[in-house]
Amino acid sequence: MRKTVLIYGMAMAALVTLLKVIEYKFLVKDISMEIYLGVIALFFTILGAWAGSKLIAKKTIIQQVVVNGGGEFVLNEQGVKKLGISQREYEVLELMSRGLSNQEIADKLFISLPTVKTHSTNLYMKLDVKRRTQAVQKAKELQLIP
């Protein structure tokens, strides 16, 4: 965590230095306003893309083995990745398969009811189904849940 804070701090210090150099050149050498604003916009675009890629990382699901009455269930990781199901969506799907209501899922995962509904809607789209029972059935067929 300290390393990340240090990197962000150094990046911001470099940004301030760069802006001051550009401002100095603008005042002394009379650079046009469009170039000045373009350089600032380009820098912030690159900084935003870099920060976004660092802050929004894809989550992976660890292989899960569940023993059911002598048989084993092995999670189809390729299917999860192919469908683009996030970790939280997978948790919602698992709780759906246990028969929990949206409110019970929200309570269990410490999230709001609208968030559960959003995850459910995303799952329905990714699984190409219209109802909860269809989502659970298709997930079982794809070996996403036991």
Tokens of 45: 């675009």
Spatial neighbors of 117 by CB under 8 A, at least 6 apart, are 102
- Counting residues of the chain whose pLDDT is more than 90, the rounded percentage is 21
Q: Specify the pLDDT at position 116.
A: 93
Alpha-carbon span 123 to 130, nearest angstrom: 10
Q: Are residues 127 and 78 in the same domain?
A: yes
Q: Are residues 37 and 70 in the same domain?
A: no
Average pLDDT over residues 121-145: 89
Determine the structural domain holding residue 16 and report its residue range: 2-55
Which residue would you say has higher pLDDT here, 138 or 9? 138
In a domain, 49, yes or no: yes
Indicate the Cα dihedral angle 52, 91, 64, 53, nearest 10°: 0
Average pLDDT over residues 46-61: 73
Which residue would you say has higher pLDDT here, 113 or 9? 113
Q: Are residues 15 and 34 in the same domain?
A: yes
114 pLDDT more than 90: yes
Domain total for the chain? 2
Q: Are residues 112 and 70 in the same domain?
A: yes
User: pLDDT grade, residue 1 (50/70/90)?
Assistant: low
29 pLDDT more than 70: no
Q: Are residues 48 and 76 in the same domain?
A: no
In a domain, 60, yes or no: no
Q: Specify the pLDDT at position 70.
A: 52
In a domain, 146, yes or no: no
In a domain, 44, yes or no: yes
Q: Are residues 27 and 94 in the same domain?
A: no
- CA 50 remoteness from chain centre: 15
Choosing from 55, 77, 93, the residue where a domain stops is: 55
52 pLDDT more than 90: no
CATH number for the domain spanning 97: value is 1.10.10.10
Q: Are residues 48 and 102 in the same domain?
A: no
In a domain, 100, yes or no: yes
